Amino acid sequence: MGSAFQFMFKTVDQPEMTGIPADNKMPDRRPSPQKVFQKTYQKNRESNFTEKIEALDDHFNYADNSGHYWSEPQQSLLYGTPFYQEASETQKLALNHLYWVFGYTATAAAEVQTTMFNQVTAGVFQQLGGYDTLYQELELETEQEKSHIHAFNKINQKTTNHLLGPGVFSKLLKRPQIKASKPSKDGKGKARALGFIAKGMLKHHSKTYSPYLRDLETKYSIIPAPTSGFGYLGKNTATQDLLRFYIMSWGGSPFLASQYYNVRYMANMLLKNREHKIFRYCRKLQKKEAFIPAPTAVSYYHLLDEAFHTNMSQVIGRDLYHEWDCPTPYEKFLSNISIYWVQSSSLQGLNAGIPGLYLKDEKFFMGFLYQLLQQPLFGLSAPEALQRIQECFGEEHEGLHVSAQWHQQLLNDHCRFFQEFSYLWPVNRDFRLMASGGKLDRVMAQNKILLQEFTNETLRAESETIHTAA
């Protein structure tokens, strides 16, 4: 069955889809990937940014940092909205801290995925042989990610416990539509079928199949697909299945293993888009000899640590596959779909209430901010909070303009990097989905529709609550 699928894709997907001839040569001006791996591994081992993050993690105390901005005010929830303009200084500080927490909750979730995907793909390179340094660097990065996640989680929990009370922030971020339940036999059957297809479609998969993935298969009844991280993967069961399919594909082919690093690069750059601004803020404070809050310092060292990871993502995703046979049309197809998917889910939106958030799921975040405004810290009634959400998403304001500018910066970075990928579809090479998501008139038109839906749903829910209580 596998070979039948391979045949089908070979006949329907041809290199001329991109308009650029397939070519497996790496530009001569670049050093070999092996040389870069050795240099990066050596520099990363010599650095001690992770240890510094661990020290800050060990000693974090919210009270010591509560009276200071952790980044420029632009990096605050609801920045630029009428509510923000009228907020008290204490509330503005809280919105700034909660922005940090919000961002690093997402980063921690994405890094959980990274620890797994690094190991899945490192296993493929290990099976290929001759990539010992790459394997060691990925192992080191995985350990570093664990320290990062730990620090983010500690700061996030202490901060939100203080500002909102234990468990409140997590509850606000929880999606009501995902209910825990016993998995159905259908779900397990579907997962097995997807695994069968993923493996069947890949040539020689048994020779390079990731030992880490094989180990997971023996431990779990279905391979875990840690969701809610980058790419907003797993927002529902359909995308969870798709993610699981990708994990098995990344772990079964050297080309696809290397292409996972293009997705990781997109995550690295999205993080850098936010974190480099905190980094510059930290440098500014240092020069002024002003107090540096611990979370600001964590961001500073994290950016430095992640510079190694970004470098690796770039070289593995862009250069490494030139050392192997040309990828099959099916492999190129999967690589394109993954980039298209991330563009569509994570980069195509422009959130009016959370600057620098490009997820295309505005309605969920309207709900998040609506609930947040009703917490004692902000003290709004339900109708007042709804009015603030309508102002935030229904009117153009400075926060939205700031977000559009940052979105454009990231778009330029991606277009520059992905231009030379000959096998990418034009929609991916030029990041056309992402570009369409940054247009303000379109954002405002979409917000108008979503806001109407959100208002109707909220009013209906409120009236049902009142009716039930009565």
Interface contacts to another protein, rule CB under 8 A: 29-31, 36, 39-40, 43, 48, 51-52, 54-56, 58-59, 61, 63-64, 105, 108-110, 112-113, 115-116, 146, 149-150, 153-154, 157, 170, 173, 178-183, 219-222, 224-229, 234, 283, 286, 289, 291-292, 294, 297, 300, 303-304, 307-308, 310-311, 314-315
* CA distance linking residue 210 with residue 121, whole number of Å: 7
CB 302 to another protein: min, Å: 12
CB 71 to another protein: min, Å: 16
CB 181 to another protein: min, Å: 7
List, as own/partner pairs, every contact residues 129-135 make where C-beta atoms lie below 8 angstroms and the sequence separation is at least 24, other chains included: 131/37, 133/34, 133/37, 133/38, 133/41, 134/33, 134/34, 134/37, 134/316
CB 166 to another protein: min, Å: 10
Give the 3-state secondary structure of residue 210.
Answer: coil
Residue 20 or 178: which CB sits closer to another protein?
Answer: 178
Residue 107 or 126: which CB sits closer to another protein?
Answer: 107
Residue 172 or 256: which CB sits closer to another protein?
Answer: 172
CB 115 to another protein: min, Å: 5
CB 174 to another protein: min, Å: 9
Q: Which helix (H) or strand (E) holds 132?
A: helix 132-163
**Tokens at residue 296, please?**
């600001």
Residue 224 or 383: which CB sits closer to another protein?
Answer: 224
Over the Cα atoms of the chain, what is R_g? Answer: 23
* CA distance linking residue 328 with residue 333, whole number of Å: 9
Structural contact between residues 271 and 306, judged by C-beta atoms closer than 8 angstroms: yes
Query: What do you get for the CA distance between the two ends of the chain, in Å?
Result: 61
Number of C-beta neighbours around residue 265 at 10 A? 24
* CA distance linking residue 453 with residue 465, whole number of Å: 18
CB 358 to another protein: min, Å: 18
Report which DSSP code applies to 231.
G
Residue 75 or 311: which CB sits closer to another protein?
Answer: 311
CB 336 to another protein: min, Å: 23
Residue 164 or 435: which CB sits closer to another protein?
Answer: 164
Q: Which helix (H) or strand (E) holds 67?
A: none
* CA distance linking residue 413 with residue 260, whole number of Å: 18
Q: Computed from CA positions of residues 420, 421, 426, 428, in that sequence, does the dihedral angle turn out positive or negative? A: negative
Residue 132 or 143: which CB sits closer to another protein?
Answer: 143
Residue 150 or 432: which CB sits closer to another protein?
Answer: 150
